[in-house]
Amino acid sequence: MAKTAVVTGASSGIGAATARRLAAEGFDVVAAARRRERLDALAAEVPGIRPAMLDVTSQESVDAFAAELERCDVLVNNAGGALGLEPVASSRVDDWQRMYDVNVLGSLRMTRALLPKLIASGDGVLVMLTSVAGLVSYEGGGGYCAAKHAQTSMTETLRLELCGEPVRVVEIAPGMVQTEEFSLTRFRGDAEKAAKVYEGVPGPLTADDVADVISFAVTRPAHVNIDRLVIRPRAQAAQHKVHRV
């Protein structure tokens, strides 16, 4: 029987690439997000992917999703993102609330709901999509860095608390990934500002690059836990050290 992998935020970017990649690895993939038409298109294109409506900021939605799911071997908590690039002093409280809700509490809701199934699988893998923003802060990143640091901390705590259970806890922390929507969402639909983020960078990461390392981590033997994988483009030595041509 095929193992089931749940990927949140699978309607775009890293989540969609991860759903494709895990389906290619033979997983029965449940691709979950809020935009039905994008999930349907993905499922129609890739055998082994099932679409599922999910809003990780709604407990009701998470509960309904979990109730429909017969098994779960892999959970990829990927749904998330950034809002705004203002300094802390002029940042918006509601942006911080929304970032905390989707990145941190969304991962918490999904983890709480699916952990019993991950344990029951006998070899569960929980993957948390954090960011290098969860390890190092940068100007303008206040709310996003705070949320990603919280997610990193939650991941470390979970690994300690689950020691002895048949569940691996994996953190994937990417640097700059050029996805179609991440920067567009951050800049509230301003395509010009979004494009500037990647301007002149020779080879930002792609969603497929990140899906590749997620796939690597979840397909190791059951006794091998990849604690944290930091992946950046060669052109980004650090948040503040980006080579542009």
> Annotated active-site positions, please?
144
> Minimal distance in Å, beta carbon 152 to ligand NAP?
11
Binding residues with ligand NAP: total (CB under 6 A): 32
Among residues 54 and 125, whose Cβ is nearest to ligand NAP? Answer: 54
- x-marked contacts with ligand NAP along 13-52 as a string, rule CB under 6 A: xxx-----------------xxx-----------------
Beta strands in 25-182 (DSSP E): 28-33, 49-53, 74-77, 124-129, 167-174
Helices (H) and strands (E) in the chain, counts: 9, 9
Among residues 153 and 222, whose Cβ is nearest to ligand NAP? Answer: 153
Residues between 177 and 196 that touch ligand NAP (CB under 6 A): 177, 179-182, 185
Stretch that binds ligand NAP, among 45-53, 88-96, 116-124, 169-177 (CB under 6 A): 169-177
Give the up-direction half-sphere exposure of residue 108: CA atoms within 13 A in the CB hemisphere.
Answer: 17
Among residues 37 and 221, whose Cβ is nearest to ligand NAP? Answer: 37
Question: Whole-angstrom Cα distance, residue 87 to residue 50?
Answer: 40
Q: Indicate the helix (H) or strand (E) that contains 7.
A: strand 4-8
Q: Is 84 in the site for ligand NAP (CB under 6 A)?
A: no
- x-marked contacts with ligand NAP along 201-240 as a string, rule CB under 6 A: ------x---------------------------------
Q: Is 137 in the site for ligand NAP (CB under 6 A)?
A: no
Reference 144, options 180, 136, 62; nearest CA is 136
> Minimal distance in Å, beta carbon 183 to ligand NAP?
7
Q: 3-class DSSP state for residue 169?
A: strand
> In the 3-class helix/strand/coil scheme, how is 72-117 assigned residue by residue?
CCEEEECCCCCCCCCCHHHCCHHHHHHHHHHHHHHHHHHHHHHHHH
Q: Is 78 in the site for ligand NAP (CB under 6 A)?
A: yes
Stretch that binds ligand NAP, among 87-95, 101-109, 222-230, 236-244 (CB under 6 A): 101-109
Give the up-direction half-sphere exposure of residue 167: CA atoms within 13 A in the CB hemisphere.
Answer: 25
Residue from 19, 23, 29, 54 that binds ligand NAP (CB under 6 A)?
54
> Minimal distance in Å, beta carbon 93 to ligand NAP?
18
Q: Indicate the helix (H) or strand (E) that contains 183.
A: helix 182-186
Question: Whole-angstrom Cα distance, residue 131 to residue 228?
Answer: 11
In the complex, the residues that contact ligand NAP under the rule CB under 6 A are: 8-9, 11-15, 33-35, 54-57, 78-81, 102-103, 106, 129, 131, 174, 176-177, 179-182, 185, 207
